[in-house]
Amino acid sequence: MIVFFFIQSFIFIGLALNVFEASALFGAAALAGFFYGSALALYPALTGDFFGLKHLSTNYSLVFTGWGIAGLVSPSLGGYFVDLTGGYELALIIFGVFSLAGSSTCLYLLKRLKLYLE
């Protein structure tokens, strides 16, 4: 569980690296990609633990709409911040904070999860 939280915080750190070390471009791209991928892979498991396995595929498709909306909104939102400030720093920091907020929400979810597991 703690690992779950930290993995997602590392997305934030990966993005922060990107902000300050442009020369570490490849490393930052690798880190961000890795933790984005693993965060995505953890949500089906979380859905299964919360709501049971019987309707997992339908339930996960509902949770997955969150990803869809994010895909719809976040690139244009990012573009808006870039146009606003003329650089990527603010946009990256804002999305890093988004990511950190999501991770903190997970801490709450994990506390709730103990109620539903045997």
Residues between 12 and 31 with contacts to other proteins, criterion CB under 8 A: 12, 15, 18, 22, 25-26, 29-31
Q: Is 87 in the site for other proteins (CB under 8 A)?
A: yes
CA distance 20 to 108: 31
Task: Please select the residue that binds other proteins; options are 20, 75, 84, 85, rule is CB under 8 A.
Answer: 75
The total of other beta-carbon atoms located within 10 Å of residue 97's CB is: 12
Q: Is 41 in the site for other proteins (CB under 8 A)?
A: yes
Q: Is 80 in the site for other proteins (CB under 8 A)?
A: no
Task: Please select the residue that binds other proteins; options are 20, 45, 84, 85, rule is CB under 8 A.
Answer: 45
CA distance 99 to 33: 14
Q: Is 65 in the site for other proteins (CB under 8 A)?
A: yes
- 69: helix, strand or coil: helix
CA distance 47 to 62: 10
Nearest approach, Cβ of residue 18 and other proteins (Å): 8
Judge contact between 28 and 14, C-beta under 8 A: yes
